[in-house]
Amino acid sequence: MLEYLVLYQSESGNTKKIAATIFSHLPGTSKDLIDITTDKTIPEARVYFIGFCVHCGSCSMVVSDFLGALSGKQIALFGTCGMGSSPEYYSSIEHSASVWIESDNEYLGAFICQGKMPQKVRRKYESIRTAENAPRIRLCLQNFDEALTHPDSLDLEHAKVFVQKILKKIQADDTL
């Protein structure tokens, strides 16, 4: 059994970047980095870092099904979403994914950051702009443009700090 497994779903590459960063900061060689949608065999591990791209405010069923099937594991989550700088929204994403984790696992926490969105999202915002919703659409367009550079080097640094925090937590648990 592996010590660490980083498992992710990423449609346009943002979450994959975070997954690769998390993987690179895990110690030792007993670890693997797996794309949940393409890699056929998923090895078993003691500690899981499970990542997802946010669609409709949560993870996909592929991810929630996998989470729900785990038992007796230590599990951390990570994800990227279009929305930036909204701790409340990030908490709601964390909650909507972590509810799938059964209570016989140890839940370690989540790292969520912003990720760029496809240009069609910007075109959609522009196409639905009216006199009434113009202020809201302006904010959406502003958020879209801010997302274009994410995940950036600071997001990757935060992902590294997240891994270090989780590793400390695991070590503390092991000494109990």
Ligand X SMILES: Cc1cc2nc3c(=O)[nH]c(=O)nc-3n(C[C@H](O)[C@H](O)[C@H](O)COP(=O)(O)O)c2cc1C
Under 8 Å between Cβ of 19 and 8? yes
Tally of CB atoms within 10 A around 173: 11
**12 vs 91 by CB, closer to ligand X:** 12
11 binding ligand X? (CB under 6 A): yes
Distance CA 42, CA 33 (A): 10
* Residue 92-121 contact track with ligand X, rule CB under 6 A, x = bound: -----------------------xxxx---
> CB of 72: closest distance to ligand X in angstroms?
28
Strand 31-35, strand 2-8: pairing: parallel
> CB of 155: closest distance to ligand X in angstroms?
10
81 binding ligand X? (CB under 6 A): yes
- Total chain residues near ligand X (CB under 6 A): 20
80 binding ligand X? (CB under 6 A): yes
**112 vs 170 by CB, closer to ligand X:** 112
Distance CA 23, CA 4 (A): 9
Under 8 Å between Cβ of 150 and 113? yes
Which residue has its beta carbon closest to ligand X? 115
**124 vs 160 by CB, closer to ligand X:** 124
22 binding ligand X? (CB under 6 A): no
Task: Show contacts with ligand X in window 38-67 (CB under 6 A).
Answer: 53-57
User: Whose CA is closest to 104, among 73, 66, 68, 77?
Assistant: 73
**14 vs 21 by CB, closer to ligand X:** 14
The correct pick among 22, 59, 73, 82 for binding ligand X (CB under 6 A) is: 82
**43 vs 118 by CB, closer to ligand X:** 118
User: Which chain residues interact with ligand X by CB under 6 A?
Assistant: 10-16, 53-57, 80-83, 115-118
